Structure 1
Amino acid sequence: MTADARPSAIPTHGEARQMDGRAPFVIVMNAGSGRKQGETTAALIANAFGKANREYELMLVHDPSQLAATAQRAVELAQARNGAVVGAGGDGTLCAVAQAVIGSGCAFGVLPCGTFNYFSRDHGIPADPAQAVDLLLTARAHPVQVGFVNDRMFLVNASLGLYPKMLEHREIYKRQFGRSRLVALWSAMAMLLRRHRHLRLHVDHEGTMQEIRTSTLFVANNRLQLEQVGAAEAPLLAQGLLVALAPRAIGRIAQIVLSLRGALSRMSDADNVIGFAFRRFTVTHPSKRRRRVKIAMDGEVTHMQMPLEFRVGDTPLYLLKPEADVAAQNRS
């Protein structure tokens, strides 16, 4: 695995902000996230906020297509009342709500209700719903880094190629066999056994154009996820950078071996992976045509027009999270 030159200018995003102890919360909850534990979480919110005499409004979303619009209404309501916006759901839900929150002046809170919860785990937010609710009442808002693909934000990762196909395949398996990490792993291995085409991409990074052939281009903004696969570039996220990984064009057996290395946290030992840290780079197709490609961001699959510009967000997201020492203890 190789890493490109690292920029010396690392942006700073300022200090943590103390929340007003009377500020209300506007909570956007995805009713379909995780194991559909919405009723339990809603009861915990009512109990904890009632004891603290804290105002809140719960916006329950049953139709995923209404999530972005609901998040925007939540931000407008929070702005009018000098409150905070909370996303309750998996990483995809949190990303949709955070996209509306960033730059609004509102703090962003998290109640993790998904399968993997990479974003909340990376920032030390408790997986236990009761503890996560209690944290909202006491935490300061800390500036955290986000990534962008063109004008779309991501919190955890963005990718094109094989990975978005694997996510779609995973959703089919989940509908049949339920939501669990074991089902997700099973569906991924089944997808890797299939024949798939490699991408030919032109990558413009720091003024240098390189053509790569790969099954998938994966861009990460999550230290925990990179550490789980053993990527050597994981610490660079703390320096205000994102990390790109792209396996070289290899056969199916070699692809499975590479995936097993990742599962064993040994990706850094692999010679078949291109890896580099960056603040900004652009991906085009060799034909220069404005092709429409499938892309995944935080587990949600959509289509975007090339070229694709991956970059670190200029504005941080102010996240209600534990202090650094407590967050480190909570990570798992």
Structure 2
Amino acid sequence: MADPIAARPTPDRAGIRVICNDRSGRNSREREAIERAMEILGPGAELRHVKGRDIIPTAERAVADGAGTVVAAGGDGTIMAVASALKGSGCQLGVLPLGTFNFFARGYGIPEDPEAAARVIAEGHSEPIDLGTVNGRIFLNNASIGVYPAILKERETVYRRWGRRRIAAHWSVLKTFWRFTRPLKVEIEANGERRAFRTPLVFVARSAFQLEHFGLQGADCVRQGGFSVFIAPDEGRFGLLSDAVRLAVKQMRLGEDFEMICADKLEIHVKRSRQLVACDGEKFPMEGPLHFEMHRDAFRLILPGRDARDAA
């Protein structure tokens, strides 16, 4: 039997609701880009500026109001929040990238320029996509425990002082690595095995583009519908700093700088029952153990046609 989501060309809905993270569009350049994007989307599109905590309820309201397309205007965290509200709803997801890295948009060939991305949304070509989940919460690119949630906390401080710049993001990584001294004791159950690790970081990847961007292995595992799970060795702060440098120059070594597991389902057991988990740049406390599963055909994503993606 054909999958009903995959078989249906477009949802039986109408209208476009654009949800813009209030942190985005603050400078004049971003505001102008959003205004041009809205002109391209036309009079049937409605723009809502909301704070981060209001993104999910606003997206849920758009679904309840009968919007055919809900557009996330912001970074990967904003897109993740909107996507979580659309899962299984029949709504299409559009993306106007306004983030620091935009790994999700870039991975699907969506232009980083909001005006060009709006043209993609206006054309309306959509395809069903798979998403990863951890304890039922979806994520687009990655989920992790250990040092990365600490990096996000430091990044917020750096951004407040220096602005949302890529160099500021990299600086927050180095500062956190230097200060981090508490590795985790975890047991990972996957592919019929349960193994114990002492590690500062478990990183579960779902973006082939992000892996290739950093010169990491595992993209084939992601493309085949699984997770690439990276476990860093416990080598102290100098080992973390060394790994950060290798990551920056794309020379990370499988078996030396990290161990990798490929699986479409896994369970991570941590000593503490409550664990801080980073998902696409946002932090969430979760009860252990952590269950990772794939959600197939979660919703339809509006993206460039195949010819445009092949030409990019």
Does TM, scored on the shorter chain, surpass 0.5? yes
Q: Is the 8 A contact 2:200 2:234 kept in 1?
A: yes
1:14–1:267 CA distance, 2 compared to 1 (3 A): farther
1:31–1:38: 8 Å Cα contact kept in structure 2?
no
**Percent identity for Structure 1 against Structure 2:** 35
**RMSD of aligned alpha carbons:** 2.2
**Which of 26, 49, 52 matches 1:60?**
49
Equivalent position SS for 1:110 = strand
Q: What residue in structure 1 maps to residue 60 of structure 2?
A: 72
Matched residue type, 2:198: R
How is 1:240-319 mapped onto 2 (pairs within 5 angstroms)?
Answer: 240-269=225-254, 271-286=256-271, 291-319=273-301
Matched, 1:320 2:302: yes
How many residues were matched structurally? 309
- Tell me, yes or no, if the aligned pair for 1:17 and 1:140 is still in contact at 8 Å: no
Task: Give the Cα–Cα distance (whole angstroms) in 1 for the partners of residues 115 and 81 of structure 2.
Answer: 23
In 1: Cα distance, 2:202 partner to 2:292 partner: 11
CA–CA distance in structure 2, aligned partners of residues 139 and 203 of structure 1: 41
Q: Is the CA contact 1:140–1:322 (under 8 Å) kept in the aligned structure 2?
A: yes
Which deviations, in whole Å up to 9, do the C-alpha atoms of 1:94-125 show, x marking residues without a partner? 00000001100111110011111110011000
Amino acid at match of 1:107: Q
Could you tell me how far apart the structure 2 residues matched to 1:34 and 1:208 are? 47
Question: Kindly tell me: are residues 266 and 324 of structure 1, through their superposed partners in 2, closer, same or farther at Cα, counting changes over 3 Å?
Answer: farther
| 1:156–1:220 contact (8 Å) kept in structure 2 | yes
**Counterpart of 1:188?**
173
Query: Matched residues in 1 for 2:207 and 2:63: separation?
Result: 25
Structure 2 unaligned regions, length at least 5:
none
1:278 CA drift (Å): 1.0
Letter in 2 for 1:45: A
Query: Which segment is superposed worse, 253-262 or 197-206?
Result: 253-262
| TM-score, with length taken from structure 2 | 0.92
Aligned CA distance change for structure 1 residues 73 and 21 (closer, same or farther; 3 Å): closer
**Letter of the aligned partner of 2:164 in structure 1?**
R
CA contact (8 A) 1:230 1:268 kept: no
Question: Which string of whole-angstrom CA distances, capped at 9 and with x for unpartnered residues, describes residues 128-151 of structure 1?
Answer: 111111111113111122110011
**1:142 and 2:133 correspond:** no
Q: Distance in 2 between matches of 1:99 and 1:166?
A: 24
Partner AA of 1:298 in structure 2: D
In the other structure, the counterpart of 1:227 is: 212
SS at match of 1:126: coil
| CA-to-aligned-CA distance 1:42-96 (integer Å, 9 cap, x gap) | 411332133xxx51222210x222111111101112xx35x11111111001000
Q: TM-score, normalised by structure 1?
A: 0.87
SS of the aligned residue for 1:182 comes to: helix
| Cross-structure match for 1:43 | 35
Contact 1:258 1:270 in 2 (8 A): no
Q: Is 2:34–2:114's contact at 8 Å kept on the other side of the alignment?
A: no
Aligned to 1:25: 16
Q: Which amino acid aligns with 1:49?
A: L
Question: Comparing 22-31 with 92-101, which one deviates more in the overlay?
Answer: 22-31
What is the rounded CA distance, in whole Å, between the counterparts of 1:325 and 1:13 in structure 2? 25
Q: CA deviation at 1:313?
A: 1.2
Contact 2:129 2:296 in 1 (8 A): no
1:3 matched residue in structure 2: none
**CA 1:39–1:207 in structure 2 vs 1: closer, same or farther (change >3 Å)?**
same
Query: What CA distance in whole angstroms lies between the structure 2 residues aligned with 1:285 and 1:18?
Result: 43
Q: Does 1:160 align with 2:125?
A: no
Please name the residue that 1:9 is paired with.
Answer: none
Give the 3-state SS of the residue equivalent to 2:47 in structure 1. Answer: strand
> Distance between the aligned counterparts of 2:145 and 2:189, measured in 1?
16
The answer to whether the 8 Å contact 2:19/2:71 transfers is yes
What CA distance in whole angstroms lies between the structure 1 residues aligned with 2:26 and 2:108?
22
1:49, 1:314 → 2: CA distance?
29
Pick from 99, 116, 123 the counterpart of residue 84 of structure 2: 99
Task: Tell me the distance in 2 between the aligned counterparts of 1:164 and 1:45.
Answer: 33
Change (3 A) 1:116 1:236: same
- State the match for 1:216 in structure 2: 201
Number of the residue aligned with 1:178: 163
Opposite residue 31 of structure 2, the aligned amino acid is: E
Query: Contact 1:86/1:111 (CA < 8 Å) preserved in 2?
Result: yes
CA distance in structure 1 between the partners assigned to 2:311 and 2:5 by the alignment: 23
Q: C-alpha separation between the residues in 2 aligned to 1:295 and 1:305? A: 10
Offset of residue 277 of structure 1: 1.4
